[in-house]
Structure 1
Amino acid sequence: MAENKILTSRRTLIAGSAATGLLAAIPSGAAAQGRLGLSSILGQATDNALDKLAQPGAFYNDEAIRIGLPIVGDLGGRAGGLLGSILGENSTAGVLGGITRSINDAAGVAAGEAKPIFRDAIDDLSFSDAPGIIREDDGGTQYLRQSSNDRLHERLEPLVDSALEELGVYSTFDGLAGQHSFIRDAGLNRQSINRSVTDQGLDGIFAYIGSEERNFRENPLRGLGSLLGN
C-alpha cells in the first residue's frame, strides 16, 4: 500500500513537472496579447507622431525639439557664435533664422515620408522581452530606439538629404562657405549637415512617439492600451 502511494506521488510529480515545462514553452494568452498590444500601440503612436511633425512649422515651433544649426569640428560652440554674429546680427528673421527654419522644415518633410520606415522597424521587432517592456510608460519607444536606431538613421538620411537639397539648405551653406573660411574649417559640409539634422530629427521623432505611447497607455479608449493591462 505504501509502495502504491509512493509510485502515485512520483507519477504526479513527473506529470506536474512536464505540464509546467509545457506551459513555460508556450506563451500565455496575456503575454501574447501584450506583445500584440505593444506592437499595435507603437505603430499608432509612431503614425500619430509623424503626422504631427509633418505639419508645417512643427519642428521649429516646438522649442523642445527644434533643430539647431549643425556645429562640428574643432571650433565647436564658437562656430555658432561666429555664424550668428555674421549672419543674424541685423534681425532674427535674417539669413540665420531662414537657414534654421529651412533645416527644421526639411526634418518635417522627411517625417512625413517616414511612416513605412518606422512600420518596417516595428514589424521586425521580436518583443521577446515584452513582459518587461510593458511596465514602462514609454517602454515600446525605448525598445524601438535601442533596437532600430541605427537602421532608422540610415533609412531616414536619404529623405533628409532630399529635403535639404530641395529647400536650398545645401546651396545656402555652399555660398556661405565660399565667403567665410571658418565654415569650411568647422567641417560644415553636406554630409555633416545631413547627419546632424537626421540625428536631431530622430531625437524629436522619438520624443513625440514616446509622448503618444504614454497617452495611449493612460487613455485606453484612444487605442489598444487596455491590452497592456493599463
Structure 2
Amino acid sequence: MRKIAFILVAFSLFSCAEMQQVLDQLPQGTGVLSQAEIGNGLKEALNNGITKQVSKLTATDGFFKNETVKILLPEELQTVDKKLRQIGMSKLADEGLKVINRAAEDAVKEATPIFVDAVKQMSFNDAKNILMGNESSATTYLQNTTSTALYTKFNPVIKNSYTKVGADKVWKEIITKYNSIPLVKKVNPDLTDYTTKKAMEGVFKMIAVEEKDIRTNLASRSSDLLRKVFALQDQK
C-alpha cells in the first residue's frame, strides 16, 4: 500500500530523471503503471459510465420508470397535483408527471458530447485524485467540470423537448385548470429550469452507479487496463 501511494506522489512531484531513479530502486514485478496508463484507465472507466448508463436514460421510460432518477413534481406543484386528483382529474395529473420525464429522456441525448470533451481534457493529476479518492470521485469530477456546460446545453433542449413531447400543452392545461379553481393560490412554475436541473441530477446518479460498480466489482473491469489501474485502488 505504501509503495503504491509513494509511486503516485512521485509521478506528480518528480522530474523524469528523478522518477526513473525511484523506479529503478523498486523490486522487479511491482506492476508500476505509467501516467498514461493510469490516465487512460480512468478515462475508459468514465467512458463506460457514459456509454452504458447515460444512454439508458435516453430510452422511453429511461427516467419515468427508473426510481433512482425519476423526476417527481416540485413542492409547489404537489399541491396542484393533489387538488386536480380531488376534483376528478387524476388522468391529467398523471400525464403531467409523465411528460416531464419524457422531456428529460429526450434532452439527455445532448449530454454525451459534453462528457466526452471533459474526459479528454482530464489531466494526470485529475486521474490520480479520482483513482485514489472515494467511490464517487469520478462522478464528482464530471460534475465539477461539466455542470455549467450541461445546464447551458440542456436548458434550451429541455424547452424544445417540452414542445416535442407535448409537455408544454399538458402543463398549460394543468396550470390553467388549477388557477381557475376558486380560492387557490395561483402558480406559474418555471418547469424548464426545474426539469433541466433534475435531468442533470439523473445523469450524474447513473454515472455514479457505473463508477461504484467498477470500483467494487472485479467482473465489471472489462479490460486488462481497467483491471491493472483499479488494482492500485484496491490496495490503497
Deviates more, 1:149-158 or 1:98-107: 149-158
| Number of the residue aligned with 1:148 | 146
Displacement of 1:90 after TM fit?
6.5
Q: CA deviation at 1:185?
A: 4.5
Of 25, 32, 41, which aligns to 2:36?
32
CA separation of 1:51 and 1:21: change in aligned 2, threshold 3 A: closer
1:62 is aligned to 2:66: yes
Partner residue, 1:13: none
> CA offset at residue 193 of structure 1?
0.9
Gaps of 5+ in 1: 1-19, 72-76
Selected match of 1:165 from 153, 163, 166: 163
Q: Does the 8 A contact of 1:54 with 1:112 survive in 2? A: yes
Residues 229 and 95 of structure 1, relative CA distance in 2, 3 Å threshold: same
Distance 1:133 1:172 in 2: 43
Q: 1:109 to 1:134 in 2, by over 3 A?
A: same
Q: Give me the whole-angstrom Cα distance separating, in 2, the residues matched to 1:96 and 1:151.
A: 32
The change in CA–CA distance for 1:130 and 1:93 in structure 2 (over 3 A counts) is same
User: Are the counterparts in 1 of residues 49 and 207 from structure 2 also a CA contact under 8 Å?
Assistant: yes
Distance in 1 (alpha carbons) for counterparts of 2:89 and 2:155: 29
* CA–CA separation in structure 2 for the residues paired with 1:127 and 1:186: 49
CA RMSD of aligned residues (A): 2.8
Specify the structure having the higher radius of gyration (Cα): 1
**What letter corresponds to residue 149 of structure 2 in structure 1?**
R
| Counterpart AA for 2:222 | R
What amino acid maps onto 1:161 in structure 2?
Answer: K
1:174 corresponds to: 172
1:115 to 104, 108, 112: 112
Residue pair 1:88, 1:97 contacting (<8 A) in 2 also:
no
Aligned to 2:222: 222
Contact 2:136 2:212 in 1 (8 A): yes
1: CA distance, partners of 2:209 / 2:89: 31
Alpha carbons of structure 1 residues 86 and 40: separation in structure 2 relative to 1, 3 Å: same
The residue identity in structure 2 corresponding to 1:138 is: S
In structure 2, what residue type is equivalent to 1:112?
K
**How many residue pairs get matched?**
200
- Per the TM alignment, residue 220 of structure 1 is displaced from its structure 2 partner at its CA by 4.8
SS in 2 for 1:64: coil
Q: Match of 1:213?
A: 211
Measured after TM superposition, the shift of residue 29 of structure 1 is 4.5
- What residue identity is the alignment partner of 2:137? G
Aligned equivalent of 2:126, options 129, 139, 146? 129
With normalisation by structure 2, the TM-score equals: 0.73
Q: Provide, for residues 185-219 of structure 1, a one-character-per-residue CA deviation record: whole Å limited to 9, x for no partner.
A: 4441xxx2111111111111111111112223323
Aligned pairs for 1:25-104 (under 5 A) are 29-69=33-73, 71=74, 77=75, 79-89=76-86, 94-104=91-101
> Percent identity of the aligned residues?
21
Summarize the Cα distance change of 1:158–1:118 in structure 2 as closer, same or farther, 3 Å threshold: farther
Name structure 2 gaps, 5 residues minimum.
Answer: 1-13, 21-31, 232-236
- Counterpart of 1:84, as a letter, is D
Q: 1:158 to 1:125 in 2, by over 3 A?
A: farther
Distance 1:138 1:85, change over 3 A: closer
Mapped contact 2:53–2:207 kept (Cα < 8 A): yes
Deviations 1:32-74 (A, max 9, x none): 31111111210121111122112211211122211012x3xxx
